[in-house]
Amino acid sequence: MKRIFQGSFWISLYLLITFLPLIILLVGPRPIGRELWRDFSVGLGFCSFSMLGLQFFLTARIKAVKAPFGSDIVYYFHHQISRVMFILIALHPIILFIFNPINLQLLNLITAPWAARFGVSAILLMGGLIGLSIWRKRIKIEYDRWRIWHGILAIAAMTFALVHIELRGYYLNTLWKQIFWGLYGLFWIGVMAWVRVIKPLILLKKEYFTEQIIRENGNAHTIILRVADSKGFKFQPGQFAWISIWDSPFQDHEHPFSISSSAMDRSKISFTIKDLGDFTGRIKQISIGQRVYVDGPYGAFSIDRYPRSREFVFIAGGIGITPFMSMLRTSADRGDQRAFTLIYANKNIESTTFLEEINSMTGKINLKFILVLEAPPVGWTGEIGFVNSQILKRYLPVDLKANQVKFFVCGPLPMMDAVEKALYELKIPLSDINSERFDLV
């Protein structure tokens, strides 16, 4: 109930901020209305400007905003709303062109007035921004490089749009409306400053050092960090953090990883990272005692959110096991007597990370462990292939009362889509399914 309330609150606030410029423009003395289509176009422009600013909010890693939805969904919404926003913002000039083709002259940046130059440039920057994000992998741009450009283009687009509004100024006819727009612009600059300057400064004060690096099966490495702060690092099992190893937090080179250690030991945190090329491939080169910047914890993917549930079903694929390791280790440390079912899909035995430890855990907690292998060894009697509704049906608890059994899914995207579909077919209520997707772009 609390989640629904919190979620509704944030969605309402999103709507309010999106439409705030229109409300403000309609209050008090207004300039004389112009053609209907022109005012319509301007209305769209104002609202999409707010949406552009709100994009910074969505990615500002504000814990309270992410809590009711889960970080992955907030990012997913960030992607989807950016497409909607781009359509709306493009409609702003398109409507002007359709109803008065003379306005097409505004596209000529050499002869156009400054307001139009800034407006057109803002839209071009946004198009570039969205295009780079959608096709980043296809045009083979490294994640780090993309992130830097994403930030630069976003700030430039926002600033250009603000200058466009201020220069155009037709609707800012009273002093207090001008003051509002000045403050509104400052507010968004404040959000950007928080993300790019203040937050990194806070991170600089928190110290974490590598204590141990362990080679794991499945081409992965676990790095164990010592927490210098005597209060330790408090988190819920299943949550993740952004880590930055070789660069300062100002350089925006952080990467999100699930915490794999037990939440009961606050003096240490560990991350298990699979070598997927780029940053993840360099993890093994980290030296002992090296300083690491950790921003977290984040995420709503945790059993701690369901103290009243009596049973949990974990469905993991490959390195998606890491948040589950944290939840299982924490449950073992707590002596949690509730029932856990872990369905863990992997290519083969050799690539199965944490296999021995999970097997040993079946004796410590009430854990039913099912390994599903794509390429099993000769004589394998366990499950074969991919996790589907038949496999799930065989191992799911018989008594599936809503709100009693919670499902958690984490793994590669195609697997997650298939598992979510299978759970849907098995009529598992949506509110009982938690999933974590780490494909941020």
Partner 1 sequence: MRRRAAIWLAIAIGIMTILLALVFAFVQQGW
Compute the distance between CA of residue 207 and CA of residue 227 in angstroms, rounded to an integer.
7
Residues 181 and 175: their CA atoms lie apart, in Å, by 10
Alpha helices (H) in 255-342, listed in sequence order: 278-282, 322-334
Distance CA 427, CA 418 (A): 14
DSSP 259: B
Tokens of residue 212, six digits: 């141990």
Q: Which residues of 42-75 are buried (b: 16+ CB within 10 A; e: fewer)?
A: bbbbbbbbbbbbbbbbbbebbeebbbbbbbbbbb
Tell me if 81 contacts partner 1 by CB under 8 A.
Answer: yes
Q: Which residues, numbered 40-69, are part of the site for partner 1 (CB under 8 A)?
A: 40-44, 46-48, 51, 69
* Residues 381-420 as x/- pattern, contact with partner 1 by CB under 8 A: ---------------------------------------x
Residues, the chain:
441
Name the one residue in this structure whose structure tokens are 């629904």.
Answer: 4
**Residue 30, interface with partner 1 (CB under 8 A)?**
yes
**Binder to partner 1 among 4, 87, 148, 197 (CB under 8 A)?**
87
Does residue 319 contact residue 353 with C-beta atoms inside 8 Å? Answer: yes
Stretch that binds partner 1, among 14-22, 122-130, 233-241, 334-342 (CB under 8 A): 14-22
For residue 433, state whether it binds partner 1 (rule: CB under 8 A).
Answer: yes
Q: Choose which of 6, 17, 19, 20 interacts with partner 1 (CB under 8 A).
A: 19
Q: Does 15 bind partner 1 (CB under 8 A)?
A: yes
Residue entry with tokens 């422009």: 45
**Residue 132 binds partner 1, judged by CB under 8 A:** no
Applying CB under 8 A, which part among 82-90, 156-164, 245-253, 385-393 lies near partner 1? 82-90
Among 1, 29, 33, 399, binds partner 1 (CB under 8 A): 33
Q: Contacting partner 1 (CB under 8 A), which of 4, 27, 28, 37?
A: 37
Q: Which is nearer to partner 1, 38 or 338 (CB)?
A: 38
Among 8, 80, 108, 248, contact with partner 1 (rule: CB under 8 A): 80
Q: Whole-angstrom Cα distance, residue 424 to residue 426?
A: 5
Nearer to partner 1, 69 or 279 (CB): 69
- Residue whose tokens read 């994009």: 55
Q: Please choose, out of 13-21, 55-63, 181-189, 392-400, the segment that lies near partner 1 by the rule CB under 8 A.
A: 13-21
71 binds partner 1 (CB under 8 A): no
Residue 91, CA distances (Å) to 55, 167, 277, 340 in order = 19, 20, 40, 51
Q: What percent of the residues of the chain are helix, what percent strand, and what percent coil, each to the nearest 5?
A: 50, 15, 30
Q: Is 11 in the site for partner 1 (CB under 8 A)?
A: yes
Q: Which of 4, 9, 16, 83 binds partner 1 (CB under 8 A)?
A: 83
14 is a site residue for partner 1 (CB under 8 A)? yes
Count of residues engaged in binding partner 1, rule: CB under 8 A? 40
- Which among 9-17, 59-67, 248-256, 383-391 is the span making contact with partner 1, rule CB under 8 A? 9-17
Q: Are 142 and 281 in contact (CB under 8 A)?
A: no
What residue has token string 């927490």?
A: 227
> What are the structure tokens assigned to 59, written together?
């990615």
Q: d(Cα 207, Cα 407) in Å, to the nearest integer? A: 35
Query: Site residues (CB under 8 A) for partner 1?
Result: 11, 14-15, 18-19, 22, 25-26, 30, 33-34, 36-44, 46-48, 51, 69-70, 73, 76-77, 80-81, 83-84, 87-88, 420, 424, 430, 433, 435
